[in-house]
Amino acid sequence: MKYMTGEEVQVGDQVLIENGKTKGVVHSVIETPAQMQEWGVDEFGVLIESAPFGLVFWPSSEVDDPVVFKAG
């Protein structure tokens, strides 16, 4: 799975969600049907740990508010 900018999504990446307003860290990358079943989701995406929310699932189909890689 890749960010909109082309970088590969990896566990531990620092990211921004909610149109860049909220910081988070990639907890898991869900890329297989087995992972979808394990996490109880119905599409590919990422699980993000974010202080205000805890663990959040962000589907890869979300194009209006994508997960943004926070470099450095």
Check residue 65 and report its DSSP letter. Answer: S
CA–CA distance, 48 with 22 (Å, rounded to integer): 11
Report, as an integer, the average pLDDT of 49-70: 92
Q: What CATH number does the domain containing 44 carry?
A: 2.30.30.1060
Q: Is 56 within 8 Å of 47 (Cβ atoms)?
A: yes
Cα gap 32→51, rounded to integer Å: 27
Q: Does 7 fall in a domain?
A: yes
Amino acid in the structure at residue 7: E
Q: pLDDT per residue over 4-28, tens digit each?
A: 888 999 999 999 999 999 999 999 9
When divided into structural domains, the chain yields a total of 1
User: What pLDDT is attached to residue 72?
Assistant: 60
- Tell me, what's the pLDDT at 36? 96
DSSP 66: -
Give the mean pLDDT of the chain: 93
Q: Domain range for residue 12?
A: 1-61
